[in-house]
Amino acid sequence: MQPPSESTVRASTLPTSNLPWILDIGTAREAARNSGRNVLILFVAPGNRVVERLDREFFESPAMKDLLAKFVLARVSFVNNSRAAYRLGVYGAGTIAVTTPNGEPVKTVVEIPASPEDLVKILSDSASSKP
């Protein structure tokens, strides 16, 4: 079986929300360096139910939107970015990784909590790149 083409992976992993997602890790890191914010990376894959749930139930939450505004947001294909994912301890789509603007790991969220408010609690201490 052939792996999906890059255009297929890209089209099927595009965001459904109006959040300012950047679709490239390098571009996101550059924006983070310019803004002094950390990068929140969502690794996605076609048909991934965790990603679908995050889009539908979590990212639309007012509490999450307020927190996400403190990050540079990157939404990238796990398939096309597996090397970067592995370096961050990410081994599958539906995982959130937070890095400094220079790419140093800050936090990885493998299991999505029960509510958006719980995810806010998990991520809130990793929003700033400043010590």
The pLDDT assigned to 11 comes to 39
Does 3.50.50.60 match the CATH number of domain 19-126?
A: no
- The dihedrals phi and psi of 126, each to the nearest 5 degrees, come to -115, 15
* Helix intervals (H) in 1-131: 6-12, 25-35, 49-53, 62-68, 82-87, 116-123
For 29-47, how does the pLDDT look when each residue is reduced to its tens digit (9 = 90+)?
A: 999 999 999 999 999 999 9
The HSE-up count of residue 46 (CA atoms within 13 Å, CB side) is 12
The pLDDT assigned to 1 comes to 44
In the β-sheet with 105-109, what is the strand arrangement from edge to edge? 72-77, 39-44, 95-99, 105-109
Over its C-alpha atoms, the chain yields an Rg (Å, rounded) of 14
**Residues 76, 44 contacting (CB under 8 angstroms):** yes
Position of tokens 């929003």? 127
**Residues 37, 70 contacting (CB under 8 angstroms):** yes
For 77-116, how does the pLDDT look when each residue is reduced to its tens digit (9 = 90+)?
A: 999 999 999 999 999 999 999 999 999 999 999 999 999 9
The pLDDT assigned to 15 comes to 62
**pLDDT confidence bin for 8, thresholds 50/70/90:** very low
Domain range list for the chain? 19-126
